[in-house]
């Protein structure tokens, strides 16, 4: 397998790997390192890539495990929390500030969720995987995934409505 | 009516029962600007999701071509083979005396020895014959010397004739 072949295989999901890593590790730098690590691991095991029927699902599983390990390890104590800047061109400044604030809130709320729910929410609501795929990636049954997802969604919305009310009144 | 539909979908969504297609509908609804005020929190949520999805991994990953260890191992194997060859060769070079030979080897040894002896005797016969040839040669040389004398003699006689 040449480098070009490898890049073609990896290209479609490398951003997904990065976003999942960032969801779990919060810091952009940490997520970048993790993604790099995952891609290098794939590259070094390129002979085996053809054996996996779903490289993407395999990579996502690998990312999840890697990030959880990372969080457990001592190095994780050096994690930095970095916020991205969100922009919206269509709204007025007043609204934009407000919106930025609430969008920021979403990420804060998600950050506070249990790891399991974080991963499932990321895979479903952001990456839009089918439940079957998520079940394969996380080695869980679909009902458990639905339950966790429902909990995560409800928590986010509850907290969002709360912050909104506090913000206004 | 649309709102009703959306609210139904949202309930399903909250219970984790929506399909990807239905979620796509919700996304499309919340992507537009005016949304019912009581659904504002959903809007923020979906907005966040679609924003996050645009994030890209931009760092370069240095992909080193996989090192091929085969050549390394081939050279190691070659050295091993050479060493083994030299060792066994060295072993064979050790001088063996006739006492070490087995019966058959001794037999073969004696036979070859006899054969060589035979060859040697024939060879010496041959050399005596050649010696005879040598003798003939010397005789011939002597004869040719004598012929030289005759030549000299005839030269002098010729001179005599010229002087006359």
pLDDT for the residue B79: 94
CB pairs under 8 A between A and B: 83
Q: Measuring CA to CA, which residue among B135, B132, B155 is closest to residue B143?
A: B135
**Chain A CB contacts of B37 below 8 Å:** none
Q: How far is A25 from chain B (nearest CA, A)?
A: 14
User: What percent of the residues of chain B are helix, what percent strand, and what percent coil, each to the nearest 5?
Assistant: 80, 0, 20
Comparing alpha-carbon positions, the chain A residue that sits nearest to B50 is: A126
- Among partner residues B52, B57, B66, which is closest to A126 by beta-carbon distance? B52
Cβ separation B13–A153 shorter than 8 A: yes
Q: Sign (positive/negative) of CA torsion A102, A103, A108, A110? A: positive
Q: Are A145 and B9 in contact (CB under 8 A)?
A: no
List the domains of chain A with CATH numbers.
Answer: 3-78 (1.10.1740.10), 93-168 (1.10.10.10)
Better-predicted residue by pLDDT, A89 or A40: A40
Q: Which of the residues in chain B have pLDDT under 70?
A: 1, 65-68, 91-98, 164
Neighbours of B22 (CB within 10 A): 15
pLDDT digits (tens, 9 = 90+) for A94-146: 666 666 676 777 888 888 888 889 899 889 988 888 888 889 889 889 899 99
pLDDT digits (tens, 9 = 90+) for B10-45: 888 888 888 888 888 888 888 887 777 778 778 888
pLDDT for the residue B63: 73
pLDDT tops 60 at residue A79: no
Domain layout of chain B by residue ranges: 2-53, 98-160
Better-predicted residue by pLDDT, B21 or A90: B21
Phi, psi of B15 (to 5 degrees): -90, 5
């Amino acid at each position: 397998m040449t480098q070009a072949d490898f890049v073609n295989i990896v290209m479609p999901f490398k951003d997904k790997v990065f976003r999942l890593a960032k969801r779990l590790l919060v810091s952009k730098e940490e997520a970048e390192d993790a993604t790099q690590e995952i891609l290098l691991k794939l590259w070094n095991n390129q002979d085996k890539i053809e054996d996996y029927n779903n490289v993407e699902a395999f990579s996502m599983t690998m990312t999840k495990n890697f990030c959880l390990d990372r969080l457990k390890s001592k190095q994780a104590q050096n994690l930095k929390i970095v916020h991205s800047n969100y922009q919206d061109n269509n709204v007025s400044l007043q609204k934009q500030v407000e919106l930025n604030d609430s969008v920021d809130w979403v990420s804060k709320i998600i950050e506070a969720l249990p790891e399991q729910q974080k991963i499932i929410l990321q895979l479903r609501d952001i990456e839009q995987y089918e439940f079957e795929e998520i079940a394969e990636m996380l080695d869980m049954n679909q009902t458990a995934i639905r339950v966790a997802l429902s909990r995560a969604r409800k928590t986010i919305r509850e907290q969002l409505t709360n912050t909104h009310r506090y913000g206004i009144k | 009516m649309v709102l009703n539909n959306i609210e139904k979908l949202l309930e399903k969504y909250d219970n984790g029962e929506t399909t990807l297609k239905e979620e796509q509908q919700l996304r499309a609804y919340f992507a537009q600007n005016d949304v019912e005020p009581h659904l504002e929190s959903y809007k923020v949520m979906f907005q966040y999701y679609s924003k996050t999805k645009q994030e890209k991994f931009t760092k370069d990953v240095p992909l080193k071509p996989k090192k091929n260890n085969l050549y390394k191992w081939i050279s190691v194997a070659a050295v091993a083979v050479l060493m083994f060859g030299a060792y066994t060769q060295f072993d064979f070079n050790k001088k063996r005396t006739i006492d070490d030979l087995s019966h058959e080897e001794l037999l073969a040894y004696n036979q070859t020895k006899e054969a060589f002896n035979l060859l040697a005797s024939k060879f010496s016969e041959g050399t005596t014959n050649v010696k005879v040839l040598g003798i003939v040669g010397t005789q011939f040389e002597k004869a040719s010397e004598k012929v030289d004398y005759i030549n000299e003699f005839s030269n002098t006689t010729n001179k005599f004739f010229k002087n006359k």
